[in-house]
Structure 1
Amino acid sequence: MDSNARRARIQAMLTTGPTPISASQIAKKLRVSRQTVVGDVALLRAEGEPIVATLKGYEYEAQYTHKAIIVCRHFPNDTADELTRIVNAGGTIVDAEVSHPLYGQLKGMLQIKTVADVNLFVGKLKEQQGHLLSELTDGVHTHTVAYETPAQLTAIQTTLREAGYLYE
């Protein structure tokens, strides 16, 4: 299979699959290395395909009706509570972003929609002994949050305010 055909197959997997798919899973199905898939996805993105890498794997970027940017500040050990509050209020955490003095805007795509997603994120953070982007900025960060109704946005802001996480 040539590289163009392989990239077409990757696109097909991402558009027809019900859930995100990891580079390793794609590589296994296509009988190529994981790095080949990573390179192919990078080329697809360079061509304008709105593919995002999430905790669960690659997927096409979701289109949301309503989105808001919320500024938060908290300690790393409050992360699970912050994320859980957002999803329990009806939000999807699309990303986390910080303003870094050297690199400018740094963004991590999250696509956290459920408490199970929160647990997966926090579990991988601990397992990999990772660091949050917000650790670079003394806890200050933004989230793009998707929601369906204005009442959900109000509920998200209220619960974050009550916890002391909403930066105002």
Structure 2
Amino acid sequence: MTNAERRSQIQSVLSTSLSPISASKLARRFHVSRQTIVGDVSLLRAGGEGIVATVRGYEYQYNAVHEVVLVCRHTPIGSADEMQRIIKAGGVIEDVVVDHPLCGQIRANLQVRDKADVNLFMAKIKQQKAHLLSELTDGVHTHTIAYDTPEQLVAIQASLREAGYLYEDGPNT
């Protein structure tokens, strides 16, 4: 199989899958290294494919009817609760962005859709002793949230506001 054929098959597998597929699983399937798959997916993305990396693996980007960027602020302890509130109200957390004073905007793709994604994300943070991007900015960060109905957006905002996570006015200085 040529490299182009393998990439075509990766594209086909991902486009028909109902759940994300890890680079390791694709590597085993195509008898190549994980790094080869990472490179193949990068080339597919560069060619315009809407493939995203999630906590559970690669998949095609979810296309909701609407998207909004919400500014949030909380300590790391509030992360799981924040994510649970968003998904419980019907949202999908597409990304997290922080404005770093040295590097500018730093964006991480999340694609968190359900409680299992939240639990896996939090378990990986604990397992890898990782830090959240928001720790670089005193907890301030944005999320692009996908949602289908205006009622879902109202519920998401209300829930985040109730918990004190929605950063609407900022501190008085």
TM interval, shorter chain, is: over 0.9
Following superposition of structure 1 onto structure 2, how do residues 122-141 of structure 1 map, counting pairs within 5 Å? 122-141=122-141
Q: Tell me the residue number matched to 1:90.
A: 90
Provide TM-score, normalisation by structure 2: 0.94
Q: Tell me the residue number matched to 2:14.
A: 14
Q: Which runs of 4+ in 1 moved over 6 A?
A: none
Encode CA deviations 1:79-121: one digit per residue, 9 max, x unaligned.
0111111111111111111111222221111111111211111
Following superposition of structure 1 onto structure 2, how do residues 73-152 of structure 1 map, counting pairs within 5 Å? 73-152=73-152
C-alpha separation between the residues in 1 aligned to 2:30 and 2:64?
31
Provide TM-score, normalisation by structure 1: 0.97
C-alpha separation between the residues in 2 aligned to 1:107 and 1:21?
22
- 1:45 deviates by 1.2
Encode CA deviations 1:28-84: one digit per residue, 9 max, x unaligned.
000001011111111111112111111010111111101111000000011011111
- Secondary structure at the residue paired with 1:28? helix
Which letter maps to 2:74? Answer: H
C-alpha separation between the residues in 2 aligned to 1:62 and 1:10?
18
- Secondary structure at the residue paired with 2:18? coil
Q: Tell me the residue number matched to 1:2.
A: 2
Unaligned runs of 5+ in 2: 169-173
C-alpha separation between the residues in 2 aligned to 1:7 and 1:101?
38
C-alpha separation between the residues in 1 aligned to 2:118 and 2:80?
6
Q: Tell me the residue number matched to 2:171.
A: none
Give the percent of matched residue pairs that are identical in Structure 1 and Structure 2. 60
- Secondary structure at the residue paired with 1:120? helix
Which letter maps to 2:114? Answer: T
C-alpha separation between the residues in 2 aligned to 1:122 and 1:53?
16
Which letter maps to 2:40? Answer: D
- Secondary structure at the residue paired with 1:49? coil
- Secondary structure at the residue paired with 1:21? coil
C-alpha separation between the residues in 1 aligned to 2:141 and 2:162?
18
Does residue 1:46 correspond to 2:46, yes or no? yes
- Secondary structure at the residue paired with 2:157? helix
